Structure 1
Amino acid sequence: MGEEMNQEMTEFKSFEIGDVVTGKVSKVEEKHASVDVGFKIDGVLPISELSSLHVEKVSDVLSEGDEIEVKVIKVSEDELVLSKKAVEADKAWDALQEKYENSVAFDVEIADVVKGGLVVDLGVRGFIPASLVERHYVEDFSDYKGKNLSVKIVEFDPEKAKVILSHRAVLEQEADHKKQETLASLQAGQVVEGTVQRLTDFGAFVDIGGVDGLVHISQMAHHRVETPSEVVSEGQQVNVKILSVDRDNERISLSIKETLPGPWEEVKGSLNTGDEIEGTVKRLVSFGAFVEVAPGVEGLVHISEISNKHIGTPQEVLSEGETVRVKVLDVNLDEKRISLSIKVLETEQVSNEVEEYQKESDGNSPFSLGDMIGDQLKKYK
């Protein structure tokens, strides 16, 4: 009998700490599982040795009959303690080391959302800090649990069991790749669509496919622009013309003005001989005054057409920035010339006043219209 028992005993396997073996789950308790690995007693797999992540109860991970690979972490005549987590970690570190050294991007599933970031199971615990999840600020990460993200390892220290991951690094690499493709494809003279990213005192930065170009304030409109916000707003879609591309320094000069109809084209059909309009005196010269009658469109009031009274210089009766009413004498849009008159309107105003006077006097005035206009005009000489 004794010999039979000894023979039976020799059939049991012997183990040392560090041995990796395959066993079958024989029993599942709330905080541990029993595993038959061929030892004289079943080994104990504590809940803390199940996974690199937190486990609420063993039955969430294991069922009776499951075949699992475990590592021996403690052994004696009457005790065998096993770890599933240690086996997974051993396998994981080598693979992660290779991914880290080669800066490889790989997909992970978010296992949990914790304070400060996201947790993933890599065979070891991996952590994505909140600032390394997206390129933009995220207020609430609650819907990230269970989501798949492509990540890179940015910090790796097996001794401290530290694996820091970044999804943002993958996004930035993709954005840089797209940027380089865009830079290579852009040519001066192209008209493309873009999105206004931000405004500055000197212009607007516009995204034209992963790369920002600058629309200088002088290229925003045909008329003078004081601040870019007069013309565009952040997030607005705009057409821009590429003026120049500096690929080495990643600088692109753009123009909104070049995509717009010229100011002289815009007044075609809306400005005609005989029109009475309001304008702004822009420049005074010895021979007259240039008056802006539409954004970027100036006409000339010759000195002889400024006033009915004799003047030596336009400055005697006009000042730059002043608003005046003018009459269009002639329009030549092809040659970008408009002749204007202030004097004609003054004369017409006097004529209208005299006509009104005559109507009110029922024709009993002893003066003719010519006489009265002549008397009025003497005031301007």
Structure 2
Amino acid sequence: MSEHNENLEEKEEMTQSTTENGEMTMDDMLDAYPPLEVGDTVQAEILAIEDNQAIVGIKDRGVEGVIPYKELAAKPFDEVTEIVNVGDVVDVVVIKQIKDKENGSYLLSKRRVDAKAVWEEIQEKYDNEEYIEAPVKDVVKGGLVVDVGVRGFVPASMVEAFFVEDFSEYKGKTMKFKIIELEPSENRLILSHKAIALAEKAAKSVELMAEISEGDIIEGTVARLTNFGAFIDLGGVDGLVHISQIAHEHIKSPGDVLTIGEKVKVKVLSVDVEKGRVSLSIKDTLPGPWESIEEKAPIGSVHTGTVKRLTSFGAFVEIFPGVEGLVHISQISHQHIATPHEVLEEGQEIEVKVLDVKPEENRLSLSIKALQEKTNDTPVKEKTIEKYEASEDDDSKFTLGDLLGDQLKELQDQDEE
């Protein structure tokens, strides 16, 4: 390139000298300039702006050219004067020679020269693994169009580290991008913001995990719900709250009590820095179901509960979330029953009366029959007495107390209650 310039200078000096002596023709002068070829990059001075295009004089070539509107710049503009003005000297590339020389001998492009410089800069950043920052020009089907001096494209899957349903809010937004792929000859530039978001999250995760420890109570945001628990965003780290640690009471699905985006307090159960795992609990930050149970369920109070379990010796009834009390088989009915299954079923709602409270043992004694009127007592007594009066000569000699047995005891218990 330097030899070419030296030869050009020599030709110019020779031309000037010969002209002064009157020995060189106009054709000779034109022959002194090196020919212009398609693809040559030259300097041009803006001579005039007409019909939204620039008329230029190609320096050191003695010819004129024209830069069409679409070849002035890669970025959008309304007026030519936003890009060039009369007197400006710009670099242009020769696109082709114009046969009709009314507006200049050559068709030129400033945009392509600028784009070449941009591609070189992008290539350098790519080689150095640097990020680029640019505005989102448009939202199209499949992703985002970015203006970095040349057209860049961000596929939808590379916009964020999370699912985005509507990309309209990204238009006009300036963002950082990692260069994924570039091919200047095909005008192909693929970018990713997701790669940056993931890298930043990973760095923040390491930093945050070094700060939190077992037993800490912190605030987080419900990020995701699964059938086995909820992932809580702690500000760069996602911790898992297992379904058994969401509430004191049994729940079928995390979605029954939590919603995505909800702010929650959690207790750190464990931190595994090597695996990047944090185990959390929500229920450990909540008041226990048995807390102040003597105030919520004092002796003699009546509650509506749900039969949770049936056993051979009674029924467990839940009167508050996470609080179950036992209705002993003797407290289910005034009538004699062999098993609780005869009169109760799981899931049934019933009213119960509190007989005893032992908060230190998390135990409640409940009764169903205490809220029911006793029926058919008199006929039972009469039949029993009549039967054994008719057998007065029986050697067994049963007393009235022997005959009535548990019935008298049951009446006595009822009076005590």
Give the TM-score, by structure 1 length: 0.75
Report the CA distance shift for 1:215/1:65 in structure 2 as closer, same or farther (over 3 A): same
After TM superposition, list the pairs within 5 Å mapping 1:113-152 onto structure 2. 117-134=143-160, 135-137=162-164, 139=166, 141=168, 144-145=171-172, 147-152=173-178
Q: Which runs of 5+ in 1 are unaligned?
A: 352-373
Matched, 1:44 2:70: no
After TM superposition, list the pairs within 5 Å mapping 1:145-184 onto structure 2. 145=172, 147-184=173-210
Residues 187, 242 of structure 1: 8 Å contact kept:
yes
After TM superposition, list the pairs within 5 Å mapping 1:126-275 onto structure 2. 126-134=152-160, 135-137=162-164, 139=166, 141=168, 144-145=171-172, 147-265=173-291, 267-275=293-301
Query: AA paired with 2:51?
Result: E
Cα distance in 1 between the residues matched to 2:368 and 2:106: 109
Match of 2:110 among 67, 84, 98: 84
Q: What is the CA distance between 1:228 and its match in structure 2?
A: 2.3
Q: What is the CA distance between 1:244 and its match in structure 2?
A: 2.8
Report the CA distance shift for 1:297/1:196 in structure 2 as closer, same or farther (over 3 A): same
SS at match of 1:188: coil
Residues 113, 142 of structure 1: 8 Å contact kept:
no
Alignment partner, residue 6 of structure 1: 24
**Segment drifting more, 82-91 vs 72-81:** 72-81
Query: AA paired with 1:160?
Result: E
Query: AA paired with 1:220?
Result: I
Match of 2:302 among 266, 276, 281: 276
The higher radius of gyration belongs to 2
Residues 21, 69 of structure 1: 8 Å contact kept:
yes
Matched, 1:66 2:93: no
Q: What is the CA distance between 1:265 and its match in structure 2?
A: 0.4
Cα distance in 1 between the residues matched to 2:85 and 2:138: 23
Residues 267, 294 of structure 1: 8 Å contact kept:
no
Query: AA paired with 2:238?
Result: D
Residues 156, 163 of structure 1: 8 Å contact kept:
yes
Q: What is the CA distance between 1:76 and its match in structure 2?
A: 11
Higher relative contact order (CA 8 A, sep 6+): 1
SS at match of 1:172: helix
Q: Which runs of 5+ in 2 are unaligned?
A: 1-18, 376-403, 412-417
SS at match of 1:334: helix
Cα distance in 2 between the residues matched to 1:310 and 1:142: 72
**Segment drifting more, 217-226 vs 108-117:** 108-117
Q: What is the CA distance between 1:264 and its match in structure 2?
A: 0.5
How many matched pairs? Answer: 354
Report the CA distance shift for 1:287/1:41 in structure 2 as closer, same or farther (over 3 A): closer
Alignment partner, residue 55 of structure 2: 34
Residues 85, 123 of structure 1: 8 Å contact kept:
no
SS at match of 1:169: helix
Report the CA distance shift for 1:332/1:153 in structure 2 as closer, same or farther (over 3 A): same
SS at match of 1:159: helix
Q: What is the CA distance between 1:25 and its match in structure 2?
A: 0.9
Alignment partner, residue 359 of structure 1: none
Deviations 1:28-85 (A, max 9, x none): 2235422231322234334443234566764442211122223455679994554323
Alignment RMSD (CA, Å): 3.9
Query: AA paired with 1:224?
Result: H
Q: What is the CA distance between 1:143 and its match in structure 2?
A: 7.1
Q: What is the CA distance between 1:209 and its match in structure 2?
A: 1.9
Sequence identity percentage? 46
